[in-house]
Amino acid sequence: MKLSIGNLYVTDVQLGDHNAFQDGVLTVDKEGAISFLKECDDHITDLDIVIARPGDDTRIVPVIETIEPRSRKDGRCVFPGVTDDVVPAGDGELMALKGCCVTVVGGTWGSFGDGVIDMGGEGARHTYWSKLINICLVGETDEDFERHEQQKCNHALRWAGHRLAEYLGNIVRDMEPQDTETYVFDPLLKRSEERAKLPNVALVLQPQSQMEALGYNDLLYGWDMNKYLPSFLSPTEVLDGALISGSFMPSSSKWSTYEMQNFPTIKELFAEDGKSLNFVGVIMSNLNVALDQKERSAIMVRNIALNLGVDYAIVTEEGYGNPDADYVRCQVILEDAGIPVVGISNECTGRDGQSQPLVTLDEKLNALVSTGNVSELSRLPACKTVIGNLEAMNRDGMSGSWGYDEVLGKSARDDGSIIMEDNNWFCGDHISGLSVKTMVEF
């Protein structure tokens, strides 16, 4: 499979009355975009588009999703089974608007998996999103059945986000890219002898699938990852929108759709592919909660790896806590099968740093990358502008924030300042590989 991503670099986004991309400036027909999104889904009752730029004194909360705007040259949809029919992904030509993202924001209501982005000040370093121009899609819906639920599907707003990403991508669909990234994944059985001499490396992805009820988990070609068994994928399928993020998991441990489209660990493996290793693809697993489901997935990952002839693997999980059991089990079962592993995830060592970092440990885990501590406390001053609604932090059971604490008070203070756990930064531990955090003994 060959996937080409033609990049155009966005230096500013302007809201206007027509769509255009010229000299780095993306102009968006705001009313046109909003009426298109409302037409697609009559559960949306109100929508606004607001721009937040790097360095702005702006706090965005509750953030539901981030997505890179893209289109496909041949007209196939960008998110198969999500924004349109189920069509193949992983090969072809895409156009991408770099340097920006669609940021889906609850206008009033937050949920467990939603997070915070600070565009400027000390809080900016806690997420990658502060480096991008955030095209914030702020909305209200009539999804009353989950209005007061801690877990929300956020279906209408998430889908609106994916549609907007594709709508924006289509503005540049027929333009010439400034540069092109090309990812070639040769058929495994037809690889050259030279490649066959290199060690075979697979990436095991464990996307979020813990919710037994459908509609909250990550989707693969529109299919809920809870009702799924491990399978083999080309890494280009992941980069091409086959996988989208869900709404469940404390925010800092999630992979957003933007991260899946740009999965940094996949890109780093491609950078070494054909040189020091033979990248033999992605073994796509999941993170279900029941022990037999965990064991079944681990066994199937192991067997796919053995049958492909995988020599080494990287394992990474979208989550912490219960999913650590899958993360650790998968590494142990691979090591036991003679396949040495590197693991990439975050830790939960508590506010005092003294708790056990993963819920289960095994001495066979001897090569781990740590991307952050979910329980670190952040205290930050008010921002001049809030996009969304700070009160969601106090009211809606967002992970890492709270409405009452006898010592710390509430998370969103009346003066606009906040106190919360790292858990609440939107994808803040960037387990996908963007994280420049590590963990050390203090």
Binding site for another protein (CB under 8 A): 125, 199, 201, 264-265, 267-269, 271-272, 276-277, 311-312, 314, 316, 340, 342, 344, 347, 349, 352-354, 357-358, 361-363, 365-373, 376, 422, 430-442
CB of 179 to another protein, least distance (A): 17
Q: Does residue 113 contact residue 254 with C-beta atoms inside 8 Å?
A: yes
CB of 192 to another protein, least distance (A): 20
Residue 192, classified by CB atoms within 10 Å of its CB into exposed (0-12), middle (13-18) or buried (19+), is exposed
Residues 6+ apart with CB under 8 A from 100: 10, 13, 26, 68, 69, 132, 133, 134, 135
Sheet order of strands, 179-184 included: 70-72, 92-98, 2-9, 179-184
Closer to another protein by Cβ: residue 404 or 442: 442
CB of 125 to another protein, least distance (A): 6
The tally of CA atoms less than 13 A away on the side-chain side of residue 112 is 15
CB of 316 to another protein, least distance (A): 8
Nearest 5°: phi and psi at 19? Answer: -100, 130
CB of 208 to another protein, least distance (A): 18
Closer to another protein by Cβ: residue 92 or 321: 321
Residue 30's CB is within 10 A of a number of other CB atoms, namely: 18
Closer to another protein by Cβ: residue 144 or 441: 441
Nearest 5°: phi and psi at 335? Answer: -60, -40
CB of 439 to another protein, least distance (A): 5
CB of 170 to another protein, least distance (A): 29
**Gap between the terminal Cα atoms of the chain:** 46
ω into residue 54 within 30 of 0, thus cis?
no
CB of 372 to another protein, least distance (A): 5
Closer to another protein by Cβ: residue 10 or 201: 201
Closer to another protein by Cβ: residue 224 or 422: 422
Closer to another protein by Cβ: residue 61 or 198: 198
327, 330, 331, 336 alpha-carbon torsion, rounded to 10°:
160
Residue 39, classified by CB atoms within 10 Å of its CB into exposed (0-12), middle (13-18) or buried (19+), is exposed
Closer to another protein by Cβ: residue 38 or 195: 195
Beta-bridge mates of residue 387:
60
Closer to another protein by Cβ: residue 51 or 358: 358
CB of 268 to another protein, least distance (A): 4
H/E run at residue 179: strand 179-184
H/E run at residue 168: helix 155-171
Closer to another protein by Cβ: residue 231 or 356: 356
